[in-house]
């Protein structure tokens, strides 16, 4: 007879291997298929906010910036390491889904609740861009799992889990205020389930609230002392109007974001069930697809955990409190796969083992297909000259810093302003911990970025304005040309106006940079305008 301990451990070990392999493959594919981090510079923005670590920013709460800063204390600052962070975040979230499944007593279905999410868009291609939405992938499942752990455990262990529930709930809020909707969704299952009601009569929920308040307090104090800037940014996302187009898109997000995983599970389950029962496959598949989303009664904790973030967000959108954004749906489906698995097992229990075996056999072929698609996308982007792929962000950052040091006898650059957040490329690729500010010094936003009101005290800096692709062929890397002042982009006009007001020269240094090498067979030149800011020369 086999060793029962080994038998119990083997599936868990295999699941961890599958999760690790999938996250590594997606990280490699994301790095290979994209020549840069992301088109909106969200990931550079994260890094700028992490230098130095602070209790708030001019747009968002700071937790995901803390994660970025701590990650790059350990790993080199390059695109591949950043992609690894994106999918390490996914891995942490999937382990949380697994833990939630175990707390829900789903047994062998719990690991598959995590694995199936790797066949959905939020945990795969969308997760490659690490930002506030992506950070919630790792936090929401653990918060839900800790809620149930606080319900279920007694004594010191119950106190321990309750305190961690408060801390993780605070981390959710410190990542994105939208998490308030998620946390508010805990109330209904707590009130409807007998275990939740009993929990409310103990000290444990109040310990969680105390831990939550203590962890959140420094951020709230920072926000209050900085004119409530992040809250103002969050409120600007609303406006009192109801946008039915955005509401419809968000309402359908569970289908088109999680469609591959949902179809794979339900259709394979239906095939196995049809073979067992002799019923028509199409009718069986339709029944399973429709009933996979249903609750098992009013006190169904799993259904309410899965349903409430989506339903409450729609409610706020229909009330005109906020204008819904489809990417907000990225973290809402952490419990969807667990719900489908639980329901399908109840509807067709005889098909469970064979279905999961078939899905397991498909795991490595699917990962091989993902890798092949990544290679194909990289080749396509390289051969068709995709502008986002060829934008020479890393090369430009190093060329700009090198040029500045040549003009200033190797002096260390103190700060960079200009076009936010692309100007953070200097800090990420060329000079770590370089203070990066939006726009020009002296503004409220710059002050929120820890720039002194008297910017001269910070030292010499530069203003960076990316100018985009250059039409002229055969541009030489790092070639400097002269440009007339008072022309160009809004960034240039802002820089020139500010420099003139400070009594400083407004003549830019314009660099042309291009990428080359085996990944970039069709080099294209991009231009960047750089304005030196000499603190000692201003009036």
CA distance 156 to 355: 40
Yes or no: say if 506 and 531 are a contact pair by the CB < 8 Å rule: yes
Spatial neighbors of 11 by CB under 8 A, at least 6 apart, are: 108, 111
CA 353 to chain centre: 34
- Phi/psi-derived region of residue 504, left when phi > 0, alpha when psi is between -120 and 50, beta in every other case: beta
Bridge partners of residue 526, in order along the sequence: 469, 513
Strand partners of residue 525? 514
Peptide bond into 421 cis (omega under 30): yes
Between CA 155 and CA 217 the distance in angstroms is 27
CB 330 within 8 A of CB 126: yes
Own/partner long-range contacts of 365-369 (Cβ < 8 Å, ≥24 apart): 366/119, 367/21, 367/22, 367/25
CA distance 235 to 470: 39
Whole-number pLDDT of residue 481: 42
Q: How far apart are CA 170 and CA 255, in angstroms?
A: 29
Kindly give the residue spans of alpha helices, DSSP state H, lying in 176-242.
Answer: 179-184, 187-192, 194-200, 204-225, 229-235
317 close to 247: Cβ distance less than 8 angstroms = yes
Give the gyration radius of the chain's Cα atoms.
26
CB 58 within 8 A of CB 15: no
**Strand ranges (DSSP E) for 199-287?**
none
Token pair recorded at residue 320: 């005109």
Whole-Å CA distances, 146 to 36, 154, 158, 160, 377: 37, 13, 10, 10, 40
Residues 6+ apart with CB under 8 A from 310: 250, 253, 254, 329, 332, 333
- Give the pair of three-digit tokens for residue 152: 């279920």
Residue entry with tokens 């002042």: 485
β-strand pairing of 415-418 with 509-514? unpaired
Residues of the chain scoring pLDDT < 70: 1-10, 234-241, 472-488, 538-539
Predicted structure pTM score = 0.94
Residue 149 three-state SS: helix
> Would you state the structure tokens that stand for residue 172, as one six-digit string?
């959710």
**What is the C-alpha end-to-end distance of the chain, expressed in Å?**
87
Domain boundaries, the chain: 4-379, 388-537
d(CA 505, CA 496): 8
Those residues whose C-beta lies under 8 Å from the C-beta of residue 452, and which sit 6 or more positions away, are 458
What token pair was written down for 148? 């149930």
**DSSP reduced 3-state for 481:** strand
- The two most distant CA atoms of the chain are separated, in Å, by 88
Q: State how far the Cα of 110 lies from the Cα of 101, in Å rounded to an integer.
A: 4
Cis before 52? omega within 30 = yes
pLDDT of residue 3: 37
Query: What span, in angstroms and rounded, lies between the C-alpha atoms of 477 and 513?
Result: 5
Select from 105, 93, 142 the least CA-distant residue to 301: 105
Strand partners, 511: 480, 528
């Amino acid at each position: 007879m086999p060793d029962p301990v080994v038998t119990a451990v083997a599936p868990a070990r295999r699941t961890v291997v599958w999760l690790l392999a999938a996250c590594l493959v997606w990280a490699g594919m994301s790095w290979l298929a994209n020549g840069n981090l992301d088109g909106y510079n969200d990931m550079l923005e994260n890094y700028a906010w992490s230098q130095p670590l602070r209790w708030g920013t001019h747009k968002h709460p700071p937790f995901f910036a803390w994660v970025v800063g701590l990650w790059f204390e350990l790993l080199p600052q390059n695109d591949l390491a950043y992609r690894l962070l994106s999918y390490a975040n996914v891995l942490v979230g999937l382990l949380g889904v697994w833990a939630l499944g175990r707390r829900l007593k789903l047994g062998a279905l719990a690991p598959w609740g995590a694995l199936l999410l790797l066949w959905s868009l939020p945990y795969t291609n969308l997760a490659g861009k690490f930002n506030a939405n992506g950070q919630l992938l790792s936090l929401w499942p653990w918060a839900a799992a800790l809620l149930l752990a606080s319900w279920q455990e007694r004594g010191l262990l119950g106190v321990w889990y309750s305190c961690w529930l408060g801390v993780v709930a605070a981390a959710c809020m410190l990542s994105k205020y939208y998490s308030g909707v998620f946390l508010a969704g805990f109330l209904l299952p707590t009130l409807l389930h007998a275990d939740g009601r009993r929990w409310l009569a103990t000290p444990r929920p109040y310990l969680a609230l105390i831990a939550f308040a203590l962890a959140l307090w420094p951020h709230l104090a920072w926000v209050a002392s900085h004119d409530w800037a992040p809250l103002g940014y969050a409120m600007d996302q609303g406006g009192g109007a109801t946008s039915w187009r955005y509401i419809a898109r968000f309402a359908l997000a569970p289908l088109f974001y999680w469609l591959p995983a949902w179809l794979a599970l339900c259709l394979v389950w239906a095939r196995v069930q049809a073979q067992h029962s002799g019923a028509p496959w199409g009718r069986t598949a339709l029944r399973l697809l429709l009933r996979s989303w249903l609750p098992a009664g009013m006190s169904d904790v799993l259904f309410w955990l899965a349903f409430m973030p989506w339903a409450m967000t729609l409610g706020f959108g229909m009330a005109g409190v906020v204008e819904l954004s489809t990417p907000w749906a990225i973290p809402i489906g952490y419990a969807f796969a667990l719900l489908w698995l639980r329901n399908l097992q109840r509807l067709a229990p005889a098909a469970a083992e064979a279905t999961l075996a078939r899905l397991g056999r498909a795991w490595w072929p699917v990962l091989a297909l993902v890798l092949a698609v990544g290679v194909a996308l990289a080749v396509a982007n390289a051969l068709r000259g995709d502008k986002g792929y060829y934008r020479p962000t890393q090369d430009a950052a190093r060329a700009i810093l090198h040029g500045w040091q040549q003009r200033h006898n190797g002096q260390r650059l103190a700060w960079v302003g200009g076009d936010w957040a692309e100007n953070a490329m200097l800090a990420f690729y060329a000079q770590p911990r370089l203070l990066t500010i939006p726009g020009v010094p002296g503004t409220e936003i710059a002050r929120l970025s820890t720039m002194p009101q008297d910017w001269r005290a910070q030292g010499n800096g530069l203003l960076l304005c990316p100018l985009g692709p250059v039409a002229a062929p055969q541009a030489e890397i790092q070639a400097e040309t002269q440009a007339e002042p008072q022309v160009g982009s809004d960034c240039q006009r802002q820089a020139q106006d500010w420099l003139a007001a400070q009594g400083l020269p407004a003549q830019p240094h314009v660099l042309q940079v291009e990428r080359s090498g085996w990944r970039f067979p069709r080099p294209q030149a991009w231009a960047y305008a750089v304005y030196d800011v000499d603190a000692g020369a201003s009036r």
